[in-house]
Chain A
């Protein structure tokens, strides 16, 4: 009986974790590939290209910045428009993956 409860609880936890975590373990990696066109592969921009390198920045700092673009607090040429395309959960995944880059 205990085993069944534990299994059910584990299943419920999986459901709570949301479809993103359960379905696609590569989601963070794939989302960061949306940034790479301008900010370089895995967020490592070409040196002296005039684009910000965003790899290896602290996660909380990245989240704060993207959300400031999204809310309009931080002025931008294009990031205010692009950041509105992503959910909080997606931004969290993106920032986590970028922060883990060297």
Chain B
């Protein structure tokens, strides 16, 4: 049988000619793309595939959760400044773009046959698959937390949702004078400034409501990973004696019942223990046969976001082996989604992906309920080095924490949520 894929293969042979004759817009593209994971990467890819193809490409989004809940801004829910409703967005907007949204789990992917098997909805065939499953946790690194029961007591709250609400509840129930400890894994992990933001805004909550309490940061890294001078200044000015930072403090295990963090040379018993475990690409990525660096992060071609070995499978966001100085951020995943969408529309029209790829990033962090700091970067594809490199002279951080950027942080959130989902 001569199917659509064979046709595209044949068409690909004359890609150069087609490319020169090609007009703007991806409306020559046709086919079916299955996107797995409706977060910052996957939702963006789904919308942009429909928008840029003027509806000529069919898109199915498979997402486990019934609504999108944002990790960025979720630290403000934990600090009591926002509610879960404030960071929740419906998938209805994507349906208006003609994306078929299926709420289900993927149980298997066959890259050879180009089929994805779902737990409840049978099998989906695809011409191109986009995997944007985010991170999974490496529980082997914290053996006592392998069980779901243990994970319900010692929270990560590093995926926004029920864990976010549960951590807020633990902090509310903690007595004044208690200690909240946050453990940070060695980089790379999702959202480099995120842990320092969380420590800051929880310290802000304690300062206002439980002033005898303490925040203890146990960082496996040898130093603050992101925006160090700005975080240190905020801690010095706002949280002296309230927030303690310990570098080189890698977590080995925990004792769940006594809420004790077990380090190499020390044991720390606290009142609320919040463990951000080491991470790797979502399990689905490994299952697809895509090549992983160190068994953790997917190696991809930055012009298309396609796996270097698993053909037809594009991988986005935190699951990828990050390019130099590229953070695992929601902002970045959104940019990955657009690069993948552009490349897939080219491929489905029998054209090669463009090598002129640009991506930008801005990560805002709250250091208290009203003040924000940012880090920004611009990345350009380098054809010789085959990776994204930051443009020399671009990017940087806030001059100082400020209230103006708190407005921009919320403005950013509203606009990126709409860019993905509306």
Contact = CB atoms under 8 A, between A and B. Distances in A.
B411 A51 contact: yes
A30 B380 contact: no
B350 to A, nearest CB: 14
Nearest to A79: B376
Contacts of A78: 362, 374, 376, 405, 408
A33 interface: yes
Interface residues of B, number: 52
Nearest to A81: B396
A82 B415 contact: no
B356 A36 contact: no
Interface stretch (A1-9, A37-45, A57-65): A37-45
A26 B354 contact: yes
A85 B411 contact: no
Contacts of B168: none
B407 interface: yes
Interface string A12-55: 00000001101111110111011011111100011001110000
A22 B22 CA distance: 10
Nearest to A45: B415
Given A24-B354, A49-B415, 10 more contacts: A25-B22, A30-B357, A33-B342, A34-B360, A37-B419, A40-B419, A49-B414, A85-B394, A86-B358, A86-B391
Interface of A: 19-20, 22-27, 29-31, 33-34, 36-41, 45-46, 49-51, 77-78, 81-82, 84-86, 90
Interface of B: 19-20, 22-26, 47-48, 51-52, 331, 334-335, 338-339, 342, 354-360, 362, 374, 376-380, 390-391, 393-396, 398, 402, 404-405, 407-408, 410-412, 414-416, 418-419, 422
